[in-house]
Amino acid sequence: MGEIISQKKASSISKKERGNGSRIVFTNGCFDIIHRGHIELLRQSKERGDILIVGLNSDKSMRAIKGKGRPIIDEESRAIILKSIIYVDYVVLFNEKTPYNLIKAIKPDVLVKGEDWKKSEIVGSDIVDEVVRAKLVPGCSTTEMIKKIMLNFQFPIYNKMPNDKCKKYDLEERTARFGEAIIGFAKKVPKTPITIPLITQMVKAGTSVGANYCEADCAESKKDFEHKIGICKKESKETKHWIRMIVKAVPELKDEARRYWKEANELTLIFSSIVNKSRKKG
């Protein structure tokens, strides 16, 4: 098992091991949600020398590079996972956007990055003697994994959040995403004399949910609010109906349609609950 060390210790170890005749290899990355592509990069890196040091972007570094919402896995957990991989000898966290200072401190013999990087773009290539562009595994990407997860589990249960202000904002976002998803699904439905009117009705209902929720959010009276939320409930329910009819016409879309139907059903229940609570308050 590898070891998580500081930059200072990494520099010391590198100097000592090089003096003992060992070949020091360095690679770096975010390693947020480990996948086969990461393992292949580490394997190819280890094959280039004796000691593999992996530079790991800290949470601060990742947020600066990837933006809000990343990393998915915190730096401590990512480091522990990395050090447990058989090819890795040492893991070093860095806070900067690039590992240039870390590479400068370690002075590895070999620097390894994925082949999607041009040699001239690889940070630290001016410091080392040898730069290797490792072969990638097609289709392996953390970003793509996240997109796939979001597609398969597209609609979080925002209504369970305890903060009413957050709930209101998130339901607005949720209904907007629902409308977008319905449009995306509609594009996949084969256009035939039977499906065209069904698609039209589904898209009309599905995209109206969010618009009516926005109107409800800006309602000037309790009566108007309940009326608009009632429309949201009606449109959600109608969307369920049209999705069901499309599946009847195109059975092969059943699996994909199921998650949209479930979300439409859940939105129907949410809006029904909102109306009921509003009426109870009088």
Instruction: Give the integer Cα–Cα distance in Å for 137 and 242.
Output: 40
Q: Which two tokens stand for residue 59?
A: 């949470």
Residue 276 reports pLDDT greater than 90? no
What is the DSSP-derived secondary structure letter of residue 143?
H
- For 142-160, what is the mean pLDDT? 60
- For 17-22, what is the mean pLDDT? 96
Mean residue pLDDT across the chain: 90
- Residue 67 pLDDT grade (very low, low, confident, very high; cuts 50, 70, 90): confident
Residue that wins the pLDDT comparison between 31 and 151: 31
- Degrees to nearest 5, angle at CA 87 with 118 and 19: 85
Q: Say what the pLDDT of residue 169 is.
A: 41
CA dihedral (268, 272, 274, 280) in degrees, to 10, reads 180
How many C-beta atoms surround the C-beta of residue 282 within 10 A?
5
Residues with Cβ within 8 Å of 192's Cβ and at least 6 positions away in sequence, in order, are: 249
For 104-137, b/e burial (b = at least 16 CB within 10 A) is ebbbbbbbbbbeeeeeeebbbbebbeebbbbeee
Instruction: Give the integer Cα–Cα distance in Å for 105 and 108.
Output: 9
Q: Which two tokens stand for residue 170?
A: 């998130």
Domain 3-144, CATH number (from 3.40.50.720, 3.40.50.300, 3.40.50.10950, 3.40.50.620): 3.40.50.620
Percent of the chain with pLDDT over 90: 74
Residue 165 reports pLDDT greater than 70? no
Q: How far is CA 146 from CA 34, 56, 74, 131, 177, in A?
A: 12, 19, 15, 30, 16
Q: Say what the pLDDT of residue 152 is.
A: 60
Rg (CA), the chain: 26
Q: Is 42 exposed, middle or buried (0-12, 13-18, 19+ CB in 10 A)?
A: buried
Q: Say what the pLDDT of residue 149 is.
A: 74
Q: Say what the pLDDT of residue 222 is.
A: 85
pTM: 0.57
Residue 45 reports pLDDT greater than 60? yes
Indicate the SS3 state at residue 101: helix
- Residue 1 pLDDT grade (very low, low, confident, very high; cuts 50, 70, 90): confident
Q: Say what the pLDDT of residue 282 is.
A: 59
Each residue's pLDDT tens digit, 179-204: 999 999 999 999 999 999 999 999 99
- For 37-52, what is the mean pLDDT? 97
Q: Say what the pLDDT of residue 99 is.
A: 97
Indicate the SS3 state at residue 112: strand
User: Which among 51-55, 157-161, 273-277 has the top mean pLDDT?
Assistant: 51-55
- Degrees to nearest 5, angle at CA 77 with 74 and 82: 120
Q: Say what the pLDDT of residue 275 is.
A: 84
- For 30-48, what is the mean pLDDT? 96
- For 200-227, what is the mean pLDDT? 91
The position carrying tokens 């000037």 is 220
Q: Say what the pLDDT of residue 157 is.
A: 35
Instruction: Give the integer Cα–Cα distance in Å for 217 and 188.
Output: 32
Q: Say what the pLDDT of residue 65 is.
A: 92
Please give the CATH superfamily to which domain 154-281 belongs: 23S rRNA-intervening sequence (1.20.1440.60)
Q: Say what the pLDDT of residue 168 is.
A: 41
Q: Say what the pLDDT of residue 151 is.
A: 58
Q: Provide the pairing of β-strand 110-114 with 90-94.
A: unpaired
Percent of the chain with pLDDT over 70: 92
Would you put residue 151 in left (φ > 0), alpha (ψ -120 to 50) or beta? alpha
Indicate the SS3 state at residue 23: coil
Domain ranges of the chain: 3-144, 154-281
